[in-house]
Structure 1
Amino acid sequence: MNELFTNYQTQVLTTLLALGILIITRFLSSKAIRKVGQISDLNDIRTRLILKYVAIGHGVFMVSALVLIWGVNFREVGLILSSVFAVIGVALFASWSILSNITAGVILFFSFPFKIGDHIRILDKELEGINEFWIEDIRAYHVHLRDPQGELVTYPNNLFLQKAVRLLQPDDADSDGSDAL
């Protein structure tokens, strides 16, 4: 065992340093995300979702660092990774909208232009009839909206960022002249 440590002393110490950096950055980023969620009065479920994304990112970073530290043969790893990425690439291409909705959900979390309970108007010609809603929930892929008739509408996060959305005040009137919702 002592001979093993002597032969790989640099790699073991560098791995421990990388692990320490990972723990510190994960703790600090987690604390910062929770603080942003608390300051902007965001739903705890949204905060936990972003924390999960950051944890996955840290994990990918750590695996990459370990591959570099231990000097894994890139030809062997390249063959495995090219096969894995080919399968993942086909899967992501088939579900590209899911990836864009997740990314839009992260952007909505950090920019927090809207909160749960806000009354909004979506300026979209493709929406039939009513375009005023209350935001009921903001999830990873879509936003739950409630229309004046009480029906639940799910609206994809990427469209929520692409379309113009107006935050309505309680005294704003509906487009047909009736009282605000």
Structure 2
Amino acid sequence: MTTFFIHHQEEFLRSLITFMVVLILKFVFTKAVKKVAKLGDFNKVRTNLIIKYISIALTIISVAVLTLIWSVNFKDLGALLASIFAVIGVALFAQWSILSNITAGVIIFFSYPFKIGNTIRIFDKEIHKTDENGEETFVIEDIRAFHLHLRRRNGEILTYPNSLVLQKGVALVQTYNEDTQDL
């Protein structure tokens, strides 16, 4: 066992460096996301979801780097990965809308001007019902990984996919004021 450690001392050192870099990157990215969330006054659940996505991405990258460091036989690994990706590819093709909603959720987190409590109008004729003013507005109840929870004026809750929020026009009608607790 000792000879194994002596012969692979360089790989262990590179692996240690990889782990340290990944930990530092995770710390830096987590701090950055939390700072963006604080500046944008985002929901803590949304912030933790983005941090989870970053952790998953860093884990995948570190596994790829470790396979290069340890000189894994790519012929054997290639057959294994081809089988895994074939199964994953079929599953992802069947669930493409889920991935687009997750991606849209990340985009909404970083770049959209509305947050929980805002009143919005969505320009989508399929959900469009007009009130006495001739327009349908929704209050954002929650922003999740896959969808928004919107409340109509009559109290009805609507679940609206994140990918459609990016595809349809959305107007910010009124912002939520925490000081007065009013819309």
TM-superposed CA distance for 1:112, in Å, is: 3.2
SS in 1 for 2:174: coil
The CA distance in 1 between the partners of 2:71 and 2:18, in whole Å, is 15
The runs of 4+ residues in structure 1 deviating greater than 4 Å are none
Listed one character per residue, the Cα deviations across residues 24-50 of structure 1 (whole Å, up to 9, x for unaligned) are 000110111111111110000000111
Corresponding residue of 1:166: 171
TM-superposed CA distance for 1:125, in Å, is: 1.8
Corresponding residue of 2:119: 119
TM-superposed CA distance for 1:16, in Å, is: 0.7
TM-superposed CA distance for 1:9, in Å, is: 1.6
Corresponding residue of 2:85: 85
Corresponding residue of 1:10: 10
Corresponding residue of 2:153: 148
- The RMSD of aligned alpha carbons is 1.3
2:167 maps to a residue whose letter is: Q
Which stretch has the larger CA shift, 141-150 or 4-13?
4-13
Corresponding residue of 1:173: none
Asked if 1:68 is matched to 2:73, the reply is: no
Contact kept in structure 2, 1:14 and 1:69, CA below 8 Å: yes
Corresponding residue of 1:23: 23
Within 5 Å, which residues of 2 pair with 1:35-74?
35-74=35-74
> Which gives a bigger RCO, structure 1 or 2 (Cα 8 Å, sep 6+)?
2
Corresponding residue of 1:96: 96
TM-superposed CA distance for 1:98, in Å, is: 0.3
The CA distance in 1 between the partners of 2:123 and 2:161, in whole Å, is 15
1:106 maps to a residue whose letter is: V
Contact kept in structure 2, 1:120 and 1:134, CA below 8 Å: yes
The CA distance in 2 between the partners of 1:25 and 1:128, in whole Å, is 44
Q: Identity percentage over the alignment?
A: 54
TM-superposed CA distance for 1:169, in Å, is: 3.2
Show structure 1 runs of 5+ residues with no match.
171-180
Contact kept in structure 2, 1:40 and 1:112, CA below 8 Å: no
Which stretch has the larger CA shift, 133-142 or 3-12?
3-12
TM-superposed CA distance for 1:158, in Å, is: 0.1
Per the normalisation by structure 1, the TM-score is: 0.91
Listed one character per residue, the Cα deviations across residues 75-119 of structure 1 (whole Å, up to 9, x for unaligned) are 100100000000000001111000000000000011132100011
TM-superposed CA distance for 1:128, in Å, is: 3.6
**Counterpart pick for 1:139 among 141, 144, 149:** 144
The CA distance in 2 between the partners of 1:161 and 1:68, in whole Å, is 38
Aligned residues: 171
Per the normalisation by structure 2, the TM-score is: 0.90
Show structure 2 runs of 5+ residues with no match.
131-135, 176-182
TM-superposed CA distance for 1:70, in Å, is: 0.2
Which stretch has the larger CA shift, 123-132 or 73-82?
123-132
The CA distance in 2 between the partners of 1:2 and 1:79, in whole Å, is 32
Asked if 1:157 is matched to 2:173, the reply is: no
2:33 maps to a residue whose letter is: I
1:103 maps to a residue whose letter is: T
